[in-house]
Amino acid sequence: MDLKVISKNRSFGGEQTVYSHSSESCDCEMTFAIYLPPQAKTGPVPVLWYLSGLTCTHENAMTKGGFQEAAADYGVAVVFPDTSPRGDNVADDDAYDLGQGAGFYVNATRDPWRSHFRMYDYIVDELRDIVLKNLPIQDRHGITGHSMGGHGAITIAIRNAEKFGSLSAFAPIAHPTRSDWGRKQLSSYLGDDENTWAEYDATLLLEEHGWKGELLIDQGADDQFLDLLKPEALANMMAKRRQPGQIRIQEGYDHSYFFVNSFARDHVEWHAERLSQ
């Protein structure tokens, strides 16, 4: 795999690098960022995957999320993938919540999306292999994400529990099959058969499979998108399943990166503790 360095910056004794590469899953050039803490200079380190939300690229959380300092303190790498395939030949839509920037971490099965929109395979298999083979990363993975990315983190982890040792999320889209942030996209990417949507719904997957460890979910109480995120569905399912973990409702916080930045250290510490076991 030929990784092209787009940028490299020193940060808290480590390195924040942006790469591009040709993707087989998405059939286009893809970009991702990774922060390597100073501990990676002497040997491989565990890795936390951060999946971003609607309209974001690899850059938003890299520059606004506030993960680097905590990652350096705890000796954890952080990978920031893009949220969708991109390019002139990649299908798109005029709406902000469909198409480029809105991959929803699914494998699309309908035209015009199925040729490129295979973000599930890209995260679970292709980019994972690239990172393990080319960078000083241990095969110990945690995953988190924000909003659409929180949906992606929970669904990917539950469906691939053997590949991920820890799981958390910031304000995830918790029940997309019952939300306008979900039904529109899942029908566009997968078709009208709602039975095929269930494998991309965090609440339904938790009901069917549970999660092998604890869950940490942070949700802003003043989030302007609460009706779309439906955190109560996930909370009720955790109670029904007696799923270990916690959903923390953070007073006064909205849906922005100020919210993510405020609790980034908590999540890095949470994953570092579990990946060290």
Question: Are 7 and 18 within 8 A, CB to CB?
Answer: yes
Pick the catalytic residue from 141, 146, 151, 255: 255
List the one residue out of 174, 255, 256, 176 whose CA is nearest residue 217. 174
d(CA 43, CA 26): 31
Type of residue found at 125: D
User: How many angstroms from the chain centroid is the CA of residue 6?
Assistant: 22
φ/ψ of 23, rounded to 5, equals: -105, 130
The position carrying tokens 């949470």 is: 270
Is residue 255 annotated as a catalytic residue, yes or no?
A: yes
Using CA atoms, how far residue 68 sits from 20, 204, 217, in Å, is 20, 33, 20
Type of residue found at 43: G
Is residue 21 annotated as a catalytic residue, yes or no?
A: no
Pick the catalytic residue from 147, 166, 168, 179: 147
Q: Is beta strand 137-145 parallel, antiparallel or unpaired with respect to 4-11? A: unpaired
User: How many angstroms from the chain centroid is the CA of residue 260?
Assistant: 13
Is residue 271 annotated as a catalytic residue, yes or no?
A: no
Type of residue found at 57: T
Asked whether the CA dihedral 126, 131, 133, 134 is positive or negative, the reply is positive
Radius of gyration of the chain (CA): 17
Residue 42: how many CA atoms within 13 Å on its side-chain side?
Answer: 4
Residue positions annotated with a catalytic role: 147, 223, 255
